[in-house]
């Protein structure tokens, strides 16, 4: 069995890759370079791929950057600080980002004759990000199957094993699987260390704290 997995280099997708390996999949990790400010995550994805003995492909989709307005990840906007502020979190949304990445990765899964395409969407993002919800994954998975009849391995499917898990659940799973979270990246600020203050860092800290898994991150605020 072979799985293509979208791995950003964050703790969720890196845990996903370890989980897939534990399920017996041969792994091909895919990361996307879309001009994101937090490019350190791509280095983490590469480190994890090597550690897992997985193929790793970085796909440059930075061509979409100038088209997408209102995204703090790619535009020259201030990154919002704080926690659970819906409007602030919205600024970090690249419109339709998951459909774009999943469609490209699905094409790779077709041409590489994979049995599964996996992504690490999780329940903690359902409120803000509609493209992280189970109904979206189900509907997109069906459309992708229909659109590639005869051009893929017949049993290929889109899976999202963590879609009903919280980030805390995922940290716990990663802890059990022995994930080295030192080589995962969460912060949106683009610095050399995790800032410890942005919404993403806040959620990272909480996931470690609430799961009881040791947090190896050195945060800038306490460095």
Kindly list the residues in this chain that would bind a copy of itself in the complex (CB under 8 A): 33, 57, 59-64, 67-70, 90, 93-100, 102-104, 106-108, 110-112, 130-131, 133, 135-136, 139-140, 142-144, 146-152
CB closer to a copy of itself out of 110 and 213: 110
Residue 153 Cβ vs a copy of itself, minimum distance, rounded to whole Å: 12
CB closer to a copy of itself out of 54 and 110: 110
CB closer to a copy of itself out of 44 and 140: 140
CB closer to a copy of itself out of 64 and 193: 64
Residue 154 Cβ vs a copy of itself, minimum distance, rounded to whole Å: 13
Residue 146 Cβ vs a copy of itself, minimum distance, rounded to whole Å: 5
Residue 108 to residue 171: CA distance in whole angstroms: 28
194 CB-near residues (< 8 Å, 6+ apart): 185, 186, 187, 201, 204, 217, 218, 219, 220
Residue 62 Cβ vs a copy of itself, minimum distance, rounded to whole Å: 7
Question: What tokens were used for 56?
Answer: 């790793």
Residue 35 Cβ vs a copy of itself, minimum distance, rounded to whole Å: 11
CB closer to a copy of itself out of 108 and 177: 108
CB closer to a copy of itself out of 60 and 76: 60
Residue 210 Cβ vs a copy of itself, minimum distance, rounded to whole Å: 28
How far apart, in Å, are the Cα atoms of 177 and each of 103, 120, 170, 220? Answer: 29, 16, 10, 27
Sheet holding 157-159, edge to edge: 55-60, 26-33, 2-6, 116-118, 157-159
162 CB-near residues (< 8 Å, 6+ apart): 12, 15, 16, 120, 121, 122, 123, 169, 170, 173
């Amino acid at each position: 069995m072979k799985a293509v997995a979208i791995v950003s280099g964050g703790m969720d997708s890196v845990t996903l890759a370890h989980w897939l390996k534990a399920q017996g999949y041969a792994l091909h990790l895919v990361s996307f370079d879309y001009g994101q400010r937090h490019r350190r995550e791509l280095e983490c994805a590469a480190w994890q791929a090597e550690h897992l003995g997985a193929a790793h492909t970085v796909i440059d989709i930075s061509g979409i950057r100038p088209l997408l307005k209102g995204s703090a990840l790619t535009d020259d906007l201030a990154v919002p600080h704080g926690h659970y502020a819906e409007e602030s979190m919205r600024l970090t949304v690249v419109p339709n980002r998951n459909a774009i990445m999943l469609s490209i990765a699905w094409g790779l899964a077709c041409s590489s004759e994979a049995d599964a395409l996996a992504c690490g969407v999780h329940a903690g993002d359902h409120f803000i990000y509609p493209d992280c919800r189970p109904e979206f994954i189900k509907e997109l998975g069906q459309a992708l199957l229909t659109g590639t009849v005869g051009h893929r391995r017949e049993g290929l499917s889109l899976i999202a094993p963590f879609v009903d898990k919280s980030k805390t659940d995922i940290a716990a799973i990663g802890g059990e699987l022995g994930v080295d979270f030192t080589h995962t990246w969460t912060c949106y600020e683009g610095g050399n260390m995790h800032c410890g203050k942005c919404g993403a860092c806040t959620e990272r800290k909480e996931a470690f704290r609430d799961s009881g898994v040791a947090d190896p991150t050195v945060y800038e605020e306490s460095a």
